[in-house]
Structure 1
């Protein structure tokens, strides 16, 4: 099965605390995707330390091939003891999804995950195991396209306690709400944001506990092919365009010279728009059979800025509408963020003389560097990137 594991999380701190006592670790390996949500005892700095250690240790050890037993034992011997409660305590949920479509789930004292398939909440069969004195729930399941697994900390099911709801939101209510969200067909980012916004409303923006939502959606494999820059040797123009067009993904061309090469080799006109959607971004162009044609360096610079924000942990503060712009950079960013799981780059290494003008800003001199930055942020978002140089 060819699929992409789309993962996004949102957290809110307990009211008055600067640090969150929940921590999420996402590790992608060649064979699997590992997601760990840890909830440290209490709140604030101590809870943050406990949760960070727990999530980092489990994620790193599983990545290196250790067993869950070894990971839990290491946690038990590593976590600092709380002077007040005399406990070294952090609850956790571990989800590991393998390339063959199988998944392994371990839960210790966190609310049960919410598993949705075909817009229905399904019960996950589990067995109890005792690992180093801890009774954990262990499950094995098979996943399919459009399955959604939501991992939550107890701050979610406690939302609204004594404020808007007498007994909190309760797991069944959260599951029903998530079921409605999942039926919209949104991506993991939008689903997690929507669920967290509901939490904030129930807490009336004064959370009584740290709360975290992790949404894992199994999405279809979607390819995007991006061509930018002329090849070092003009004799490679045809070969580069042929390989670019032969692949199956959505087609994007970045750069005026690159667009002229594509148009010439395909024997199709390049029609440049005269409409500036954003004064700082050059207008797009059109080539029959190409999904998006943009200018090069200025557009890539803005696109990389957007990707940088989306790939950082504080992206929850971003405005969802920032991808609604019609300029070339925003359109490209939206394709890469929302409509791409596998990016295939066709990169020409010829240097544009205009970019070497010492009177121009340094940002204009390095298209290759911009593309390398773009690759870094795409990988941070979990996308697969393939590069071809000419």
Structure 2
């Protein structure tokens, strides 16, 4: 079985700075996953530029099959030289995972990657290669289900308030923390939030350095299908409902007219709910065989807001809420592969609504949903009817 790579990353910006000097890039398709973390020299704008250039170049070249030697050489030739220190410098960690569950790791001058298997920390066996005067560590790992890789920028090490270094928070101490706290039931997001939250506390919420945590976890694929909006042609109703119900682990229906179509084609009824958990989100409904039934564009918009908040928050409390948008966000985030089934018929019933005036609004919201899901590391396809 080819595992899906559950991915999450987050950063603490150095206190007093507006931009983070670390940058993370991630790419996933059906053949590979590639994650890159780069830490630019110093902090602020210059560090951000160095880190962004490094991570963007590395991601583009590695995912297109170029070697680490070619990648490092290109980075060295591209980075601007710091006028004061007369060097062009940015660390990097690159992880590429193929469809054969083999992980390739390349690191330059950053902390070693933490690798967890069955609740234990396993040290990675590296080889070192001199590339254009840079000593690069390389390693390969055959991944198994629930294996976790965690890589961090150096701000995570020795995190403490003030100018002194916390000698009780070395690499080995972080490894011990991960061993004690990481469970198979935790997602990459949970693990990231846990470790980054601890670092934030050690800095007394005023980070002395840019601090970034990236987590990759090998999990079984999980397919979610979401159907929203009636098809342009009524004769496609049966086709799209069949697609919704076929080969999916989770099924979501969004929209009043859409839910009526699904219920009719399945020969069941839509059961309404009057329970309101959030006054800004309409109540959910129920259809036998469907995991979640919600109102349309407004709930989709609120779902997007909740998904966007995941990258800014160190907790996932939204997953505990019972309103339709929070439930949808939780189901979508838990997925590896998401198929959006989008009808392009104008919803006459809601034509005068302040939040769903026409087809363009629905398509815009679906487009925004697709963007945030891709940004969160999901494999997303969209089919229009």
Aligned residue for 1:226, secondary structure, equals strand
Alpha-carbon contact 1:225-1:247 (below 8 Å) kept:
no
User: Which residue in the other structure is 2:111 paired with?
Assistant: 111
Q: Which one of the candidate residues 354, 358, 361 is aligned to 2:354? A: 361
TM-score between the two structures when normalised by the length of structure 2: 0.92
- C-alpha spacing 1:169/1:294, structure 2 compared with 1 (3 Å): same
Q: CA deviation at 1:165?
A: 6.4
Alpha-carbon distance in 1 for matches of 2:96, 2:210: 24
Q: Does 1:295 align with 2:295?
A: yes
- C-alpha spacing 1:192/1:385, structure 2 compared with 1 (3 Å): same
Alpha-carbon distance in 1 for matches of 2:289, 2:214: 38
User: Which residue in the other structure is 2:274 paired with?
Assistant: 274
Alpha-carbon distance in 1 for matches of 2:164, 2:268: 62
Runs of 4+ residues over 6 Å off in structure 1? 161-165
User: Which residue in the other structure is 2:2 paired with?
Assistant: 2
Aligned residue for 1:364, secondary structure, equals coil
Alpha-carbon distance in 2 for matches of 1:273, 1:64: 50
Q: Superposed, which structure 2 residues align to 1:121-136 within 5 Å?
A: 121-136=121-136
Query: Gaps spanning 5+ residues in structure 2: where?
Result: none
Q: Which one of the candidate residues 329, 333, 356 is aligned to 2:329? A: 333
Aligned length: 383
Aligned residue for 2:283, secondary structure, equals coil
Query: Gaps spanning 5+ residues in structure 1: where?
Result: none
User: Which residue in the other structure is 1:323 paired with?
Assistant: 319
Q: CA deviation at 1:324?
A: 2.5
Alpha-carbon distance in 2 for matches of 1:300, 1:279: 15
- C-alpha spacing 1:135/1:280, structure 2 compared with 1 (3 Å): closer
User: Which residue in the other structure is 1:147 paired with?
Assistant: 147
Q: Does 1:380 align with 2:363?
A: no
Alpha-carbon distance in 2 for matches of 1:387, 1:42: 42
Q: Superposed, which structure 2 residues align to 1:200-349 within 5 Å?
A: 200-310=200-310, 315-317=311-313, 320-337=316-333, 339-349=334-344
Q: CA deviation at 1:309?
A: 3.9
Alpha-carbon distance in 2 for matches of 1:278, 1:207: 34
Which piece of structure 1 moves more, 238-247 or 190-199? 238-247
Q: Report the RMSD for the aligned CA atoms in angstroms.
A: 2.2
Q: Does 1:371 align with 2:371?
A: no
Aligned residue for 1:141, secondary structure, equals strand
Residues 53-75 of structure 1: CA deviation (Å, up to 9, x unaligned) = 22122122223332211111122
Aligned residue for 2:206, secondary structure, equals coil
Q: CA deviation at 1:162?
A: 7.1
Alpha-carbon distance in 2 for matches of 1:124, 1:320: 30
Alpha-carbon distance in 2 for matches of 1:161, 1:66: 42
- C-alpha spacing 1:62/1:223, structure 2 compared with 1 (3 Å): same
Alpha-carbon distance in 2 for matches of 1:161, 1:257: 56
Alpha-carbon contact 2:33-2:96 (below 8 Å) kept:
yes
- C-alpha spacing 1:180/1:7, structure 2 compared with 1 (3 Å): same
Aligned residue for 2:24, secondary structure, equals strand
